[in-house]
Amino acid sequence: MEGIKPVVIYNLGKRYGNKTVFRKLNLTLHTGTTAILAPSGYGKTTLLRLLLGLEKPDQGEIRGMEGHVCSAVFQEDRLCEDFSAAANIRLAAPKRTDEEIARALTEYGLPDGRIPVSAFSGGMKRRTALLRALLAPSDFIALDEPFDGLDETLKKQIIRRTKDACLGKTMVLITHDPWEAELMGASSIVRLQDCDEPDSDMVS
């Protein structure tokens, strides 16, 4: 958003015991989509948690997050299982009107009613978690494998709508699939698996 400075990741490093997740990571996040690509175990989720302040780095720093209002989709859906999709969204987006939420649910193929999300399929829960993050007030959105559990046709539709919803915001997409990054129109791609050297720059 205008007036919000970029997020700068400087010489970032993280270890768990004897395992180095990544080191000397330098990256600037501008308005638009940055895709973080790597197989499992290369620190994609760890980077997201560091950005959101849920963990602290072992070296380096992250500058600029203090100016952002964040929302996120984690690998776990983290829904209130006894609540409907609309009620789950309402918890994160209290200023959205009933009409806005109902329209968004229809666009994402979700029921606009009192059905608890405990009765949903895995893909429906994933879409609910994604929609909750998109409708919450934010200018920085972190999405960790947000399209898991969706078939290819539905995934294309949801990615298109998600891309539109993120216009003008800073968005970090965690994925193992370059096709998802391409459909999201990622302006930059970070490939963590290419960064094994201590002084390497992890931006591709």
Which pair of structure tokens corresponds to residue 79?
């829904």
Q: Hey, is 81 helix, strand or coil?
A: coil
pLDDT band at 61 (very low <50, low <70, confident <90, very high): very high
Does some domain include residue 98? no
Does some domain include residue 194? yes
CB 166 within 8 A of CB 134: yes
Report the predicted TM-score, pTM, of the whole model to 2 decimal places: 0.89
Does some domain include residue 114? no
CA distance 101 to 164: 16
CA distance 140 to 110: 24
DSSP conformation class of 5: P
Residue 194: pLDDT over 60: no
pLDDT band at 77 (very low <50, low <70, confident <90, very high): very high
The alpha-helical segments, DSSP class H, found in the chain are 44-51, 85-92, 98-107, 122-135, 152-165, 178-183
* Residue 24 pLDDT: 87
Does some domain include residue 91? no
pLDDT band at 5 (very low <50, low <70, confident <90, very high): confident
* Residue 103 pLDDT: 96
CA atoms lying within 13 Å on the CB side of residue 85: 27
Q: In one letter, which amino acid is 132?
A: R
Does some domain include residue 37? yes
Does some domain include residue 13? yes
* Residue 110 pLDDT: 95
CATH of the domain at 12: 3.40.50.300
Q: How many structural domains are present in the chain?
A: 1
Does some domain include residue 204? yes
Does some domain include residue 124? no
CA atoms lying within 13 Å on the CB side of residue 100: 13
Residue 204: pLDDT over 50: no
* Residue 21 pLDDT: 87
Q: 45: domain range?
A: 1-69+140-146+167-204
DSSP conformation class of 4: P
Q: If you average pLDDT over residues 168-179, what whole number do you get? A: 93
Which pair of structure tokens corresponds to residue 145?
């494998």
pLDDT band at 89 (very low <50, low <70, confident <90, very high): very high
CB 200 within 8 A of CB 61: no
Residue 23: pLDDT over 90: no
Of residues 94 and 3, more confidently modeled: 94
- The model's pLDDT over 128-158, given as tens digits with 9 standing for 90+, comes to 999 999 999 999 999 999 998 899 999 999 9
Of 90-94, 123-127, 158-162, 199-203, the one with minimum mean pLDDT is 199-203
* Residue 83 pLDDT: 97
Question: Taking all residues of the chain, what is their mean pLDDT, rounded to a whole number?
Answer: 89
* Residue 193 pLDDT: 63
CB 58 within 8 A of CB 104: no
